[in-house]
Structure 1
Amino acid sequence: MSSNRWPLRAALASAACGALYGAAAAQTAPPLETLLREASAPRLMVGEAETRAAEGRALQARARPNPTLDLQVENVGGEGPYRDFQSAETTLSVGQTLELGGKRGARIATARAEVDTARSRAGLGRVAFARDLVVAYATAEAAGERLNIAKDGVDLAETDARAARLLVDNGKEAELRALQAKAAASAAQAEVSRAEAEQGAALARLAALTGGERTFTAVTPGVLDRAWSASVATAEAPTVAVAQAEQQVAARKLDLERRRATPDVTVSFGLRRLAGDDATAAVAGVSLPLPLFDRNRGAVASARAEADAARARLLMAQADATADRRSAEGEARAADRSAAAAHEGEGAAREAYRLARLGYEAGKLPLIELLSARCDLVAARQRHIEARLARAKASADLAQANGQIAFGDAR
């Protein structure tokens, strides 16, 4: 009997542990500033890894060509006096290639420019990630407020339904009005289910963006109501900084390809052992390739074209950054005004519903007026949420256009 209970006990223990782990893993999301500071998203890891790779290539660019060790044995294995090693000539030499024309310096400069480009791209990635994180956080907060509004709507609808039933029972309303109020309460309950699904999806996107394995059940409120004004941008936009760095890389590569047309010299020095004469002699040599067929013209032409393209991309990035910044400033101002107007509209709708409810309970207004006022109130609260969310998104877009992080530390 006891042996049959062990599997059941093990299953119950496992289920209990799973429930406890799920409760521990699910939590309220930390404040936005904490996520901005501590997030380890894969998107950020990519930029960091690419920067380290460029730094490794820059370190390798400083390396000089390795020397060569050459061993030659001549006059062996022949006939007569050259049988065996009696007349052998053994030469041991060391050769070193000397890079001429400033190739090494140009190669190092190109690698350094590539490091700057990788860092600029990583900075662009951080700013873009911060923008997306702000939007995701604000969206999750808005979803939570929509859920609260939906729940409040259920309470209001049920209160209206009870009031309608009371008037019906007192003979002041037809049975149809009670049915209408009950249907409105059912519709409000369905809205709660939809709002719960939207909140779950928004929280899941936020958790996925942070790159962790945590499960969020809510966010720390305050992002939608936080005021953020962009400081005057003193640096180039991140996209322009990347384009400038890429233009520098292209210019360095063009200079490097031009210098590669200069041939390198290889010098060698060694000792030769003359077995037949029982003597040792020094040997030295110099080798220089003749640039008759390969003068690196194709590579120079290609690098020149890439430099022209990089300059064109820089001009495009500067024009786009100016347009994006002006557009983001306009959107931010408009979103701020819309949020203020929506706040006033919500207050007016709340007062209208209060008066409609008093009028209905006093028998001075029909049920349709009360239901309409309640729908207007819910819609006004929804519009206020949407306006605040649009303001947060506009602030994040403006921050990205200025190369800054909204609601966080400056880049």
Structure 2
Amino acid sequence: MDRRTFAGAGARARRTGFAAVVVLACGVLPAHAKTQKPVTLNDAITRAVSAGFALPAARARYEGAEAGVRQAGRYLNPSIGVESENFAGSGPYQALNQPETTLYLQQTIELGDKRAARTGVARSEAETTRARSAVQVLDLMREVELAWIEVLVAAAQQRVAEERLSIAQQFQSEISRRADAGRDPLYTQSRAEAQVALEQIAVDQARAAARIARANLAGYWRGGADYAVDLNAFENAAATNDGNPISVDVALLEAERQLAASRVSLERSKAVQDPAVRVGVRHFADTNDTALVAGIAIPLPLFDTNKDNIEKAEAERRAAELDVETARLTLRRELTRLQSRLVASATEARRIQREVIPKAEQAVQLIRDGMDRGAFSYIEFIDAQRTLNDARLRRIEALRAFYQDNAMVARLTGRHSRLNIKG
């Protein structure tokens, strides 16, 4: 065995491998995207929300709710009517030319602050509409953030796959030369070729997954997938300090609680009966005289006092209050759980980077050097390389879990609601 020749080849392979890793790490993005400014998370969210229909729909709903507030403050319309009496009867009332005709104007007067209560319900409905729209927009933001995370994950996985392919190709070439020279059995050459084929399939799959992830994210703003991303944003698993968190879910339930309270006031006001006042002019045909007439009608609350509707509204208000308290407890519990998961995922990723990957890289290098001396086989190198790759992929999965949980924290605390988005 010509160990000096193989040692020189191994050294060249290591230098070539390092250069290939650098090229591949830069080649994760499309060529025309490398000169572009990387799309950050805030950029992706801003583009998606601005280009989407969530904000225009929210604006339309709120405009409709404001129209409802104006409508609720309108006064009741008066009514005008005509009455004709004392004609087509008997005796002196048989004639048709001697009726008594009254032209009147009637107005129902709302008592019990019905108009104010009705307006209060409409305003509460408008606030509920606003809060519900905020929930829908934050849901969209979370979807975009998860899609952005998948773009980074796919890019990181593609980089690992391409590094594996580069190393497999280098060793396949060297083993082919050794097998042709009769220094290694032919089956090692076949195994190396099979390994290259497997790694090529993995690279093709990783590139396809990256294209799909990029197209999925760009679909939120109906754009192309030729944009750049910065993988450094994926490497630093640091939690974000949300300062004063704003839970739009609790805000929505609080708005619904206020709406329920407003409906209680409205139902109570409906228990007050509204009189109808009438003023008119009566014409006496037989004498051609006229006179004013006036009247008032007040409903008698004998059968319906709106008691049951009041009880229903009060029950719904109590339920809404309990829903708010339940949501607050659930929010605190969920944030505590997510914070624990964030710490666990960040710790796992950090320990793999500090404790596992360096040792796995050292093992690969030692076996590589040993192969130059004939102390190790190609199979042992592949096993060591597989351990290193598994560690890198597991770290990527830990980072994915971290950022997915971080996206949920952002959703629950309304972190992205602070973005200045126009749409």
Q: Distance in 2 between matches of 1:66 and 1:113?
A: 25
TM-score under structure 1 normalisation?
0.83
> Shift of the alpha carbon at 1:230?
3.4
Instruction: Look up the SS of the partner of 1:99 in the other structure.
Output: coil
The Cα of 1:161 is off from its aligned counterpart by: 0.6
Does 2:141 match 1:130? yes
More deviation in 84-93 or 43-52?
A: 43-52
| CA contact 2:178–2:184 (8 Å) conserved in 1 | yes
Runs of 5+ in structure 1 lacking a partner? 1-22
2:315 matched residue in structure 1: 305
Which among 270, 285, 296 is matched to residue 295 of structure 2?
Answer: 285
Q: Name 2:120's counterpart in structure 1.
A: 109
Opposite residue 41 of structure 1, the aligned amino acid is G
Q: 1:98 aligned to 2:109?
A: yes
Contact 1:243 1:314 in 2 (8 A): yes
Match of 1:163 in 2: 174
361 and 81 in structure 1: CA distance in 2 versus 1, 3 angstrom threshold:
farther
Q: 2:407 aligns with which of 387, 396, 401?
A: 396
Describe the SS at the equivalent of 2:169. helix
Offset at residue 264 of structure 1 (A): 0.8
**How many Å separate the matches in 1 of 2:378 and 2:44?**
48
- Whole-angstrom distance in 2 between the partners of 1:267 and 1:145: 79
C-alpha distance in 2, partners of 1:109/1:224?
A: 48
Report what 2:98 is aligned to.
Answer: 87
Cα-to-partner distance string for 1:232-284 (whole Å, 9 max, x where unaligned)? 55355222212222111112211211221111111122222223222222222
Cα distance between partner residues in 1 of 2:136 and 2:96 = 68
Distance 1:116 1:151 in 2: 53
- Given that 2:106 and 2:276 are in contact with CA atoms closer than 8 Å, whether structure 1 keeps it comes out as yes
- Among candidates 318, 322, 327, match of residue 332 of structure 2: 322
- Give the equivalent residue in structure 2 for 1:175: 186
SS at match of 1:224: helix
TM-superposed CA distance for 1:202, in Å, is 2.4
Residue in 2 that maps onto 1:16: none
| Secondary structure of 1:216 counterpart | coil
Q: What is the Cα deviation at residue 75 of structure 1?
A: 3.9
Contact 2:41–2:148, Cα closer than 8 Å, also in 1: yes
In structure 2, C-alpha distance between the alignment counterparts of 1:351 and 1:63, rounded to whole Å: 80
CA distance in 2 between partners of 1:221 and 1:279 (Å): 94
Amino acid in structure 2 at the alignment position of 1:394: D
TM-fit CA distance, 1:36: 1.8
- 1:187, CA displacement in angstroms? 0.7
Summarize the alignment of residues 187-336 of structure 1 with structure 2, pairs less than 5 Å apart: 187-208=198-219, 210=220, 212-217=221-226, 219-222=228-231, 223-225=233-235, 229-231=239-241, 233-336=243-346
Q: Which residue is equivalent to 1:339?
A: 349
User: Structure 1 counterpart of 2:381, which letter?
Assistant: L
- The letter of the residue matching 1:70 is G
Give me the whole-angstrom Cα distance separating, in 2, the residues matched to 1:37 and 1:80.
86
> Which secondary structure state, in structure 1, belongs to the residue aligned with residue 414 of structure 2?
coil
Deviation, 1:42, is 4.5
Q: CA 1:398–1:123 in structure 2 vs 1: closer, same or farther (change >3 Å)?
A: same
Q: Tell me which stretches of 4 or more aligned residues in structure 1 moved more than 6 Å.
A: none
Per the TM alignment, residue 137 of structure 1 is displaced from its structure 2 partner at its CA by 0.5
2:43 aligns with 34
CA–CA distance in structure 1, aligned partners of residues 223 and 242 of structure 2: 37
Deviation at 1:61, TM superposition (A): 1.3
Q: How far does the alpha carbon of each residue in 1:64-94 deviate from its partner, in whole angstroms, 9 at most, with x for none?
A: 2111111223345567865776323332222
Q: In percent, how many aligned pairs have the same letter? A: 28
Deviates more, 1:154-163 or 1:116-125: 116-125
**Residue 101 of structure 2 aligns to a residue in which SS?**
strand
**Alpha-carbon deviation of 1:228?**
5.3
Local SS of the residue matching 1:139: helix
In structure 2, relative to structure 1, the CA distance for the partners of 1:285 and 1:65 (3 Å cut) is: same
Structure-2 change in CA distance of 1:225 and 1:97 (3 Å) = farther
Whether the 8 Å contact between 1:339 and 1:384 is mirrored in structure 2 is yes
**Shift in alpha-carbon separation, 1:270–1:366, aligned structure 2, 3 A:** same
Partners in 1 of 2:418 and 2:179 — Cα distance? Answer: 53
* Partner AA of 1:328 in structure 2: L
For 2:75 and 2:418, locate their aligned partners in 1 and report how far apart those are by CA, in whole Å. Answer: 48
Q: For the Cα contact (< 8 Å) 2:168–2:195, is it kept in 1?
A: yes
Residue in structure 2 matching 1:64, options 75, 85, 90: 75
Match for residue 143 of structure 1? 154
Decide whether the 8 Å contact of 2:238 with 2:346 is kept in 1.
Answer: no
Which amino acid counterpart does residue 190 of structure 2 have in structure 1?
A: L
State the secondary structure of the residue aligned to 1:262. Answer: coil
User: Is the 1:31–1:219 contact (alpha carbons within 8 Å) kept by the matching residues of 2?
Assistant: no
Is 341-350 or 257-266 further displaced after alignment? 341-350
Tell me how far apart the structure 1 counterparts of residues 295 and 244 of structure 2 sit (CA, whole Å).
58
Distance 1:351 1:272, change over 3 A: farther
The one-letter code of the counterpart of 1:334 is A
8 Å contact kept, 1:229–1:395: yes
Deviation (angstroms), 1:359: 2.9
